[in-house]
């Protein structure tokens, strides 16, 4: 190392933390079928940017849903789950203090499985019917023109256990994970349960357990960017940096515009630095900074190190100044200010 030392990396997996804000926000809307009729009794989930469940509601008899008392300055994802007939969807909603009104109206128009099959295959070909005692299970979206959900036949007992796990996650994460594990035991190829169990395990810092679960989920649905992201984070924390690079690149190939993409590029960039590939890391770290407002501040130190090692001293000083603007009370603030002075002198 020369002048810049890359300090230990802060880990940021859960992106949004709710606090008491002066103003509250509401997201509401209606779930319609393709004929414009409201669909009752459909689950609608509110997720944070890390695809963590905030809350969930069912639509009323007219297909309406609402999420109230939401803090400003958070981005949310609204996910409409399939009812076994219609294909679920999701949509991102940005809530900012400069929003003109205190509510957002977000409607969804769902196509049925039969309509989608007819559109894809002109020749008549019926979709297999679920076996008795099974339900069609929605899962996180795969990138496609219709933003469809991976759909899988799931035994009723496994589905009920999975739903119980989701409910428990809202109040007791450990018990929720245990129920998800039980759902997997009942149906070992249960994609939604494997992915959610893996994601929640990663959030809990159980890196190896989470990595194993989402790896199994990827084997079932290789197009799940959420599983790839969780696996990449777990591999990063396990210091499996070459594996992290491959996993995160695959995630970005599938879903380059995912809400997780800025954070994925952060992990990718740092992993590239750790494996001695700073030239490849630089564009990823730059894109990470541009794409997210809550990226770990270590991104500035990583870029400063790259700039200093390539004699771009002014840019290195700029990065450290940005870091101090974000964290002016850091314990190492004084030494960082001295480092800025040294870099500015070298830049002359």
Residue 271: per-residue pLDDT: 94
Q: Where are the alpha helices (DSSP H) in 143-238?
A: 156-169, 173-186, 191-203, 207-220, 225-237
pLDDT of residue 232 exceeding 70, the answer is yes
Average pLDDT across the chain, whole number: 80
Which distant-in-sequence residues (6+ apart) come within 8 Å of 261 by Cβ?
252, 255, 291
The number of beta carbons lying within 10 Å of the beta carbon of residue 79 is 22
Confidence of residue 95 (pLDDT cuts 50, 70, 90): low
Confidence of residue 25 (pLDDT cuts 50, 70, 90): confident
Task: Please work out, in degrees rounded to the nearest 5, the angle formed at the alpha carbon of residue 302 by the alpha carbons of 296 and 305.
Answer: 155
Compute the distance between CA of residue 165 and CA of residue 148 in angstroms, rounded to an integer: 24
Lowest mean pLDDT among 11-25, 41-55, 123-137, 207-221: 11-25
% residues pLDDT > 70 (the chain): 78
Tokens of 8: 């230990």
Fill in the DSSP letter of residue 232: H
Which distant-in-sequence residues (6+ apart) come within 8 Å of 246 by Cβ?
none
Are 48 and 82 within 8 A, CB to CB?
no
Are 228 and 254 within 8 A, CB to CB?
yes
pLDDT of residue 305 exceeding 60, the answer is yes
Provide the β-strand partners of residue 268. Answer: none
* 118-144 average pLDDT score: 47
Backbone angles phi, psi at 134, to 5 degrees: -120, 155
Confidence of residue 216 (pLDDT cuts 50, 70, 90): very high
Q: In order of start, what are the domains of the chain with their CATH numbers?
A: 24-112+132-245 (2.60.40.1120), 259-347 (1.25.40.10)
What DSSP letter does each residue of 290-302 carry, written as one string? Answer: HH-SS--THHHHH
Radius of gyration, CA atoms only, the chain: 23
> Judging by beta carbons within 10 Å of its beta carbon (0-12, 13-18, 19+), is residue 20 exposed, middle or buried?
exposed
Residue 284: per-residue pLDDT: 93
Smallest Cα–Cα separation from 203: which of 12, 10, 6, 5?
12
Q: Where are the alpha helices (DSSP H) in the chain?
A: 113-120, 156-169, 173-186, 191-203, 207-220, 225-237, 241-254, 261-274, 278-291, 298-309, 313-326, 333-347
Residue 282: per-residue pLDDT: 93
Residue 339 CB-half CA count within 13 A: 23
What DSSP letter does each residue of 102-155 carry, written as one string? Answer: SEEE--EEEPBHHHHHHHH-SS--PPPPPPTTEEEE--SB--STT--B--EEEE
Smallest Cα–Cα separation from 214: which of 232, 198, 191?
198
Compute the distance between CA of residue 211 and CA of residue 194 in angstroms, rounded to an integer: 10
* 170-199 average pLDDT score: 93
Fill in the DSSP letter of residue 71: E
Give Cα 50 distance to the centre of its chain: 3
* 105-114 average pLDDT score: 80
> Judging by beta carbons within 10 Å of its beta carbon (0-12, 13-18, 19+), is residue 264 exposed, middle or buried?
buried
């Amino acid at each position: 190392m020369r002048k810049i030392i890359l300090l230990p990396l802060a880990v940021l997996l859960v992106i949004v933390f709710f606090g008491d804000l002066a103003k509250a926000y509401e997201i509401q809307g209606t779930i319609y079928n393709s004929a414009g009729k409201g669909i009752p009794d459909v689950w609608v989930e509110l997720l944070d940017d890390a695809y963590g469940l905030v809350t969930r509601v069912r639509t009323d008899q007219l297909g309406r849903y609402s999420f109230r008392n939401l803090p400003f300055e958070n981005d949310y994802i609204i996910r409409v789950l399939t009812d076994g007939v219609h294909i679920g969807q999701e949509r991102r909603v940005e809530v900012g203090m400069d929003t003109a009104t205190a509510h957002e109206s977000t409607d969804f128009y769902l196509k049925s499985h039969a309509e989608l099959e007819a559109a894809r295959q002109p020749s008549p070909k019926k979709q297999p019917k679920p076996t008795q005692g099974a339900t069609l299970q929605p899962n996180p979206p795969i990138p496609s023109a219709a933003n469809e959900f991976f759909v899988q036949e799931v035994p009723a007992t496994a589905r009920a256990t999975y739903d119980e796990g989701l409910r428990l996650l809202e109040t007791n994460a450990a018990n929720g994970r245990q129920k998800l594990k039980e759902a997997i035991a009942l149906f070992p190829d249960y994609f939604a349960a494997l992915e959610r169990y893996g994601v929640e395990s990663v959030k809990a810092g159980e890196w190896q357990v989470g990595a194993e679960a989402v790896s199994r989920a990827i084997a079932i649905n290789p197009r799940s960017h959420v599983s790839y992201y969780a696996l990449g984070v777990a591999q990063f924390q396990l210091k499996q940096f070459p594996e992290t690079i491959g996993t995160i690149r695959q995630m970005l190939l599938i879903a380059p515009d995912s809400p997780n993409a800025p954070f994925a590029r952060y992990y990718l960039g740092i992993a590239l630095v750790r494996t001695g590939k700073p030239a490849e890391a630089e564009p990823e770290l730059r894109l990470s900074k541009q794409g997210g407002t809550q990226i770990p501040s270590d991104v500035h130190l990583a870029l400063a190190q790259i700039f200093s090692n390539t004699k771009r001293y002014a840019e290195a000083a700029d990065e450290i100044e940005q870091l101090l603007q974000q964290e002016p009370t850091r314990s190492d603030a004084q030494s960082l200010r001295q480092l800025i002075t040294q870099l500015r002198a070298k830049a002359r």
